[in-house]
Structure 1
Amino acid sequence: MGAVRVLLRLSRLLLVLSLGLLMATVVALGDRSGLKASLGLRQRLSCWFMKRLVGALPFQVRVIGERPKRPMLWVSNHVSWTDIPLLGMLLPLSFLSKAEVRQWPVAGWLAEKAGTLFIRRGGGDSQRLRQQISEQLRQARPLLIFPEGTTTDGCQLRTFHGRLLAGAIDQGVAVQPVAIQYLRDGKADLIAPFIGDDDLVSHLMRLFAQPRGQVCIHLLTPIDSAQKERAALAFQAQQAIHMALFGVEQMPAVPRRQARAA
């Protein structure tokens, strides 16, 4: 029964990926012929594709909270590569992703065509990245980032990097905190996390071999970025997400920039 389940799920996934490749190919051909699709159109196509992709994944999804009606900088905890389609289906938006994703077969090319911004960890390009994020927000294009900088096992939350939120302050754009939570039989899902040296294919096979898990996506109260230090803004978003995930606040801490000024 397990082998049949995996085969059926893989078949459906391959059909959805084929559709995504067809869409991305049409966009690429349009670029070459001078009929370049706008980023807004790419975002809408990506959102449509993400909904189909989520339908091919073994999750029951519950969304708690209201989708924002104006462009914001979305910040979320990061557990798995599946975070991207699960959040990308909610609203037409772009992502900030690690540079390695660009090299992933199929998925990397699709991400690039959808307008993903890629960042090299430790690449020393903070100022250029800040400008890219600011430009996205200045043009009223919603953008989602994972300010932890890496994935976790879903049982913890790492420190948010304030430098990634500087663009929201520059443009006076609110921050939309999002908490994504993977559950299996009422407990933290230990299969969904994509961490360490795991590879995409192996993770996918393990995921497809199991019964459906549950995913709760909490769209939390937006945070005004006006007159805030970036470290304080990141800390506030981190606290809100921690509360949604674990039901308790983290131990109070003073953001670094404020601590130095004390």
Structure 2
Amino acid sequence: MPGLRASARLLRLCLVLGLGLAMASVIALGERLGWNASLERRQRWTRRFMGRLVAALPFDIQIQGDLPRQPMLWVCNHVSWTDIPLLGMLTPLSFLSKAEVRQWPVAGWLAEKAGTLFIRRGGGDAQRLREQISGQLREQRPLLIFPEGTTTDGRTLRTFHGRLLAGAIDRGTPLQPVAIQYLRDGQPDPLAPFIGEDDLVSHLLRLFGQARGEVVIHLLQPIASEGKERAALAFQAQQAIQHALFGHEDIEPRRLVKAA
């Protein structure tokens, strides 16, 4: 039965990817003909694709809190590749993502067209990244980043990298902290995390072969960035997400270093 369930879900996923491929083809054809769709339109298309993709995933979704009414820098804990469609379906968003995502079929191409910024691990180009983030925010485009810099198993929270928030401080753009939580039978879901040497196909087979899990997306209170040091701002965002995920548990304050 799990094999049959996985096959049916994978078939539905393939149909969604086919829709995404058709959308990508329309965009590509338009570019060849000299009709370049605006970023806002491409983001709307990508949001629709993300919504269809999420509908094909084996999750029941609960959203707590309100969407922001102004462009912000979204910061979220990172558990799985599924974080991206789950958040991308909520509102038109650009993303800061690892370079490997660009190579994903259909989704990677659409992500690029939606304004995703791709970063190489250990690239050492902090100033360029800061300028890219600042540029997105200057254009009043909401941007989502994962300040942990990697995925976790959903049971812990890694230290947030303050350097990724420098662009928000430059522009005085508020942060929208988001906590994403994967649950199964009321406990952290062991199937949803996409970590280590995991590959996408194995992860899909494992996830689709089991009963539906639950995802809770917490849209937390925005945090003002103006006039703050980036380490202090990162700590404040990390603590807000920590409280949403794990209740009263606190994190140890880090030594705050004045931002360059």
- TM-score under structure 2 length normalisation: 0.97
Give the Cα separation in 2 of the matches to 1:3 and 1:112. Answer: 34
Question: What is the letter of the counterpart of residue 166 of structure 1?
Answer: A
Q: Which runs of 4+ in 1 moved over 4 A?
A: none
Displacement of 1:32 after TM fit? 2.2
Equivalent residue, structure 2, for 1:185: 185
User: In the alignment, is the contact (CA less than 8 A) between 2:24 and 2:106 conserved in 1?
Assistant: no
Establish whether residue 12 from structure 1 lines up as the match of residue 12 from structure 2: yes
Residue correspondences, number: 259
Displacement of 1:251 after TM fit? 3.3
Q: Secondary structure at the match of 2:149?
A: coil
Q: Secondary structure at the match of 1:70?
A: coil
Aligned pairs for 1:3-82 (under 5 A) are 3-82=3-82
Q: Secondary structure at the match of 1:198?
A: coil
Displacement of 1:189 after TM fit? 0.2
User: In the alignment, is the contact (CA less than 8 A) between 1:94 and 1:142 conserved in 2?
Assistant: yes
Displacement of 1:207 after TM fit? 0.3
Displacement of 1:144 after TM fit? 0.2
Identity rate, percent: 72
Give the Cα separation in 1 of the matches to 2:231 and 2:32. Answer: 42
User: In the alignment, is the contact (CA less than 8 A) between 1:174 and 1:222 conserved in 2?
Assistant: yes
Mean CA deviation greater in 126-135 or 176-185: 126-135
Displacement of 1:38 after TM fit? 1.1
Mean CA deviation greater in 72-81 or 1-10: 1-10
Question: What is the letter of the counterpart of residue 15 of structure 1?
Answer: L
Displacement of 1:29 after TM fit? 1.7
Give the Cα separation in 1 of the matches to 2:251 and 2:240. Answer: 13
Which residues of structure 2 form unaligned runs of 5+?
none
Give the Cα separation in 2 of the matches to 1:22 and 1:115. Answer: 19
Q: Deviations over 1:200-256 (max 9, x none)?
A: 000000000000000000000000001100111111000000000000242331443
Aligned Cα RMSD in Å? 1.2
Give the Cα separation in 1 of the matches to 2:25 and 2:251. Answer: 49
User: In the alignment, is the contact (CA less than 8 A) between 1:169 and 1:225 conserved in 2?
Assistant: yes
Question: What is the letter of the counterpart of residue 118 of structure 1?
Answer: F
Equivalent residue, structure 2, for 1:251: 251
Mean CA deviation greater in 184-193 or 112-121: 112-121
Question: What is the letter of the counterpart of residue 150 of structure 1?
Answer: T
Mean CA deviation greater in 226-235 or 104-113: 104-113
Question: What is the letter of the counterpart of residue 67 of structure 1?
Answer: L
Which residues of structure 1 form unaligned runs of 5+?
none
Establish whether residue 139 from structure 1 lines up as the match of residue 159 from structure 2: no
Aligned pairs for 1:159-178 (under 5 A) are 159-178=159-178
Give the Cα separation in 2 of the matches to 1:91 and 1:31. Answer: 24
Establish whether residue 237 from structure 1 lines up as the match of residue 237 from structure 2: yes
